[in-house]
Chains A and B, each alone.
Chain A
């Protein structure tokens, strides 16, 4: 321990405080400040010359496109978290058993977590390609598909098509968290249940599930926040299209700012997104505090 003084503690902390202050908190402030600037400009240095007022909020809250984006975001979140949780839980239950080669198989099953979003996007664009995609080829061979369905280009299928790669990248996080929780359950509980003649479903229902439920809830919350932020996959595969079918809030913000140069409305949408995130966190604060801090 260096000295006893609190000042040493703060001195060590100061570079991080500076980084967080200048590069997280100040940008946050800038987003809020920009959200009151009306109009558009190609020169961001002159943003502060734009008129100040609530017009952006009126436009954004009255716009159908906004609520459409909110709806798309909710469907995207639910469509991602449910399947990712089930796949993640299944994999965790399997990896919690002992078998030869477990160390390596565990690494491979968790690998999608680390795959960069851009690579996820290009691989799934290719897998789900209309004419030459291997998924369509397999579906045609099985007789389930007659046409060359371009999954990412159709209004009806695009949202499902962006959810699939997101699930692929998201499930390892559930596996990882649930695996840790499973390993913390004492084996003696299972022994006792076996002696008492419990079925495997009863063992899951009364020992495994209560043991992993807090971690599962926390993982679901964190994964929801992650999916709310997710941008790379949707932007690269569909760009929010076709006809806004996959335009989540995170994608819409970027398009407003860097395709239409409307920094003001983009920031307003950003404030809206942050509000949703804060509401999510507040709703789950009790679980987070119990598990996280």
Chain B
């Protein structure tokens, strides 16, 4: 392929990226422009740089408990990701090394859990959590999010462990390691990329959760960001600049995590792992 042809392709990809990312661009622009420019019947697509400001961010932080929502989202995401990751690492290792009937069962459970609408699974959660007094508690929210993450994360981790040859563990054991030591010193360091990818995936999913947070938590001081954003929509006149500012704040960590995760997704797909 000639050099100019390559640049043409790059230009085409740039155009595609510009079109598909326009909604994100528009969100950022709305959050940084004064509202007389955005609440206009002829909005400017490319404003002057001098018109941009972070006033809407300052205003919304002063007017709404955005930092509380942010902290709640952070706590729930870290908690649920950690629990899910530990459980599914153990289970993934087991499924990878011990062939059993559980293997086929795991595949089936994975498919079933992928089919359930979260608006449906939240009903029994609501009933069960009411029984155990877990409604309106961050712990309840962590447990709910961790649970729905386990099946897929287990499948991911099994795939990563399958890629690490058994012979490495056997060699370590011949050199005098116990079974536990072989796993701890040989297998786990090798599966670091897998753990990272799996953790990032779980974090993105939990951070995005809306249904559980909306249904299982009621007090405004325990709201997470997604529920906080919804509260803007109930107002008579939606304050779009503020809402887009909160949206931008809550998208920022996802954006960073996704850039880290993306190479794993592309290579993971080649190995047949499927994320959706």
Query: Is A134's beta carbon under 8 Å from chain B?
Result: yes
Which single residue of chain A is at the shortest CB-CB distance from B213? A118
- Nearest-neighbour CB distance to chain B for A69, whole angstroms, equals 12
Query: Is A50's beta carbon under 8 Å from chain B?
Result: no
Q: With A30-B128, A45-B131, A123-B23 as known contacts, state yes or no: A225 contacts B150, CB within 8 Å.
A: no
One of B1, B90, B119, B180 near A250 (C-beta < 8 A): B119
- Nearest-neighbour CB distance to chain B for A37, whole angstroms, equals 11
Which single residue of chain A is at the shortest CB-CB distance from B115? A277
- Count CB-based A-B contacts (< 8 Å): 309
Which single residue of chain A is at the shortest CB-CB distance from B271? A180
Instruction: Tell me if A13 and B102 are in contact (CB < 8 A).
Output: yes
Point out the residues of chain B lying under 8 angstroms from A153, CB to CB: none
Q: Which of B164-181 contact A (CB under 8 A)?
A: 166, 169-170, 173, 179-180
Instruction: Tell me if A9 and B100 are in contact (CB < 8 A).
Output: yes
Query: Is A293's beta carbon under 8 Å from chain B?
Result: yes
Point out the residues of chain B lying under 8 angstroms from A117, CB to CB: 208, 210
- Nearest-neighbour CB distance to chain B for A245, whole angstroms, equals 18
Q: With A15-B91, A28-B124, A95-B13 as known contacts, state yes or no: A122 contacts B243, CB within 8 Å.
A: yes
Kindly state the separation between the CA atoms of A249 and B150 in the bound complex, as whole angstroms.
Answer: 25
Query: Is A177's beta carbon under 8 Å from chain B?
Result: yes
Instruction: Tell me if A106 and B254 are in contact (CB < 8 A).
Output: no
Q: Which of A82-100 contact B (CB under 8 A)?
A: 90-91, 94-95, 97-100
Kindly state the separation between the CA atoms of A134 and B254 in the bound complex, as whole angstroms.
Answer: 25
- Nearest-neighbour CB distance to chain A for B214, whole angstroms, equals 9
Point out the residues of chain A lying under 8 angstroms from B45, CB to CB: 134
Which single residue of chain A is at the shortest CB-CB distance from B114? A225
Query: Is B162's beta carbon under 8 Å from chain A?
Result: no
Kindly state the separation between the CA atoms of A46 and B211 in the bound complex, as whole angstroms.
Answer: 23
Query: Is B53's beta carbon under 8 Å from chain A?
Result: no
Q: With A254-B211, A274-B116 as known contacts, state yes or no: A106 contacts B9, CB within 8 Å.
A: no
Instruction: Tell me if B24 and A30 are in contact (CB < 8 A).
Output: no
Point out the residues of chain A lying under 8 angstroms from B13, CB to CB: 94-95, 99, 101-102, 105, 109
How many interface residues does A have (CB within 8 Å)?
107
Point out the residues of chain B lying under 8 angstroms from A129, CB to CB: 240
Kindly state the separation between the CA atoms of A267 and B97 in the bound complex, as whole angstroms.
Answer: 39
Point out the residues of chain A lying under 8 angstroms from B114, CB to CB: 222, 225-226, 229
B residues near A, CB below 8 A?
A: 1, 6-7, 9-10, 12-14, 16-17, 20-21, 23-24, 26-27, 30, 38-43, 45, 86-88, 90-91, 93-95, 97-98, 100, 102, 104, 107, 109, 111-128, 130-131, 143-144, 146-148, 150-151, 154, 166, 169-170, 173, 179-180, 182-183, 204, 207-208, 210-211, 215, 226, 229-230, 232-233, 238, 240, 243-244, 247, 250-251, 254-255, 257-259, 261-262, 265-266, 269-270, 272, 274-276
